[in-house]
Amino acid sequence: MTTILALLPLLLVLGLLASGRASALVAGLVGLSATLAASAVIVTGTRGGEVLAGLFLHETAAGSWLAWHVIAIIAAGMFFHRCQQARGAVANGGALEANPRRLWSVCFLLAPFAESVTGFGVGYIIALAALRRLGLNGMSALLLGLYSQSLVPWGALATGTTVGATLAGLTPNELGLSSALLQIPIHVLYLGLYWRFAREAGFATSFAQKVDDAIWTALLLGLLWLANRYTDVEIAGAAPTAFLLAVRFWRDERPDAARLKSALHANAPYVALTLALCATRLVPPLRDLLKPLWAMRPFEGQPAFAPLYAPGFWLVSIGIVTVWLARASLSRVLAETGRGAWRSCAVTLLFVVMAQFYVGSGMAETIAEALRAAAGRGSAMSVPMFAAVGGFLTGGGSAANAMLMPMVTALAHAITIDPAWIAAVQNSVCTNLTMLSPIRVSMGAAILALPAAESALYRRAWPLALPPLITGFAVILVLLA
C-alpha cells in the first residue's frame, strides 16, 4: 500500500501530461497536492503524526530554496530576452538565409554552447532567438529549440555532473568521461530525430547534407570525449562547441571584416554575457572573490546562492545596459518579463518542491526498496526510469542527481553492480530528460507567446525521451549480463 501511495503522484503527473488535457501548471498543482497527501499518510504511519508539521515546513522551505536557483535564472533569462527585443532589428541582426547547415549549427553547437556556459535553460532562450532569425516560429521553433538541452550533462559548467560525482564517490572527470561515452549513442539517435523534425519544419536535408551533419556530429562527440579526458569537466562542454562553432562560422559564412564586425555588433549582448560568465568561472582570482561573496546557504546539502556569482546577475546587468543603450523603456521590459515568466516560475516551484518531498518523506527510498525486494538484481532496470522522472520533474541535473544519486548508487552496491556505471546512467539519463521538463517547455511557450502549447509540443517531442532511455537500458542489460 505504501509503495502504491508513493507512486501515485508520479503516475498522476505523467498521466495528465500524456493526456494533453492539462497544462504543466495544472499537472504540477495536482502532483504537488497528491505528493503532500501521500507523504502525510506515509510519514504519519512510519514516524508518527508529531513530526508531520516539522517535515512539511522543512521540505517546503528546502524545496523552495532549491527552486529559487532555477527561478532566478528563468526570470533573469526572460528579462535578458526582452531586453534583446527592445534593441529591435539590431538585436536580431536581421533575418538569415534559412538553410540546413545553419540549422544544424544552431541546434547542435550554438544553443548547447550557451547552455554549457549558462545553464538553466538560457541556451533555450538563445536557441529560440536564433531559430526565429532563420524564419522558424511556433511549434517548429519550440521543438527544435529543445536541442539546446542535448549536452546538459555539461550544462551550467557541469554543475549537475559535479554534484552527481560527489554523491557517487567519483571525481567529476570520471563521471564526465563515462557520461561522454554514453552521449555517443544518445547523440546518434538525436541526429536521426533531428532530420525528421527539420524536414517537418521545411528544411529538406539532402543525403550530402546528412553526411556533413554526421561528420560534424562525430567531431563534436570526439572532442567532447577528449575534453572530458584531458581538461576540467567544467569546460568540457563549452570548449568543443565553441571551437566547432567558430570553425563552422568561417566555413559557412566566409565573413569579411565588415561582416565579422556586424555579427559581433548584432550579438554583442550574448558575447558580453559569455565573456562575463567565462571570466567569473574560469579566472581563479575573480571566481574566488565572487563565489563566496555574500553567499547564502540556509540548508545543509543545498547549493549556496552568491548574488554576484549567479548567472542571473550578469543576465540582468547586461540586459539593463542593453535597454539603456537602446533608449528603450525599462518599465515596459519589466512588465513584459513578468507576464511572460510567471507561469514557468510557478511550474518550477511546484515540481521542485514535489521532488523535495519525495526525498524528505522517504517515498523515493520506499519505491526503490520495493523494486529491489520484488526484482532482485533486475531492479537495476528501474534506474533509467528513476533518472528520467527526476530530470523530467526538476528540469536540472543538480536537483535530480541530489534527489536520486544516493539511492541508485546504494542500490548498485546492494545488488553488486558497478556503481560507477550506474552513476553514469543516472547522470546521463536525468540530464538529457531535462529537455522535456515542464519547466523548459513552459518557458519556451512563454517566450514565443504560444498559449496552451505544452500538450501540443509533448505530442510531437516525446520521441526525444527515447535516445537516453534506450541507451540507459542497454547499459543496464550489459551490466546484468
Give CA–CA dist 405/132, Å, rounded.
38
**Structural domains counted in the chain:** 1
Q: How confident is the model at residue 478 (pLDDT cuts 50, 70, 90)?
A: very high
Exposed e or buried b for every residue in 105-139, given b needs 16+ CB within 10 A? Answer: bbbbbbbbbbbbbbbbbbbbbbbbbbbbbbebeeb
Boundaries of domain holding 342:
2-480
Mean pLDDT computed over every residue of the chain: 86
CA 180, 183, 188: angle at the middle one, nearest 5?
140
Q: Which residue has the cell 536540472?
A: 396
What is the CB-side half-sphere exposure of residue 37 using CA atoms within 13 A?
A: 12
User: Taking Cα atoms as reference points, which of 252, 222, 237 lies closest to residue 100?
Assistant: 252
pTM: predicted TM-score of the whole model, two decimal places = 0.77
User: Any residues with CB less than 8 A from the CB of 404 and at least 6 apart, and which?
Assistant: 364, 386, 387, 390, 426, 430
Give CA–CA dist 1/471, Å, rounded.
32
pLDDT digits (tens, 9 = 90+) for 4-17: 888 888 888 878 87
pLDDT digits (tens, 9 = 90+) for 274-319: 788 778 877 889 988 998 999 998 987 677 889 998 878 988 999 9
Exposed e or buried b for every residue in 90-102, given b needs 16+ CB within 10 A? Answer: ebbbeeeeeebbb
Three-state secondary structure call for residue 296: strand
pLDDT digits (tens, 9 = 90+) for 348-397: 788 888 888 887 888 877 887 787 788 888 989 999 998 998 888 878 78
Give CA–CA dist 288/298, Å, rounded.
21
Q: What is the pLDDT of residue 354?
A: 85
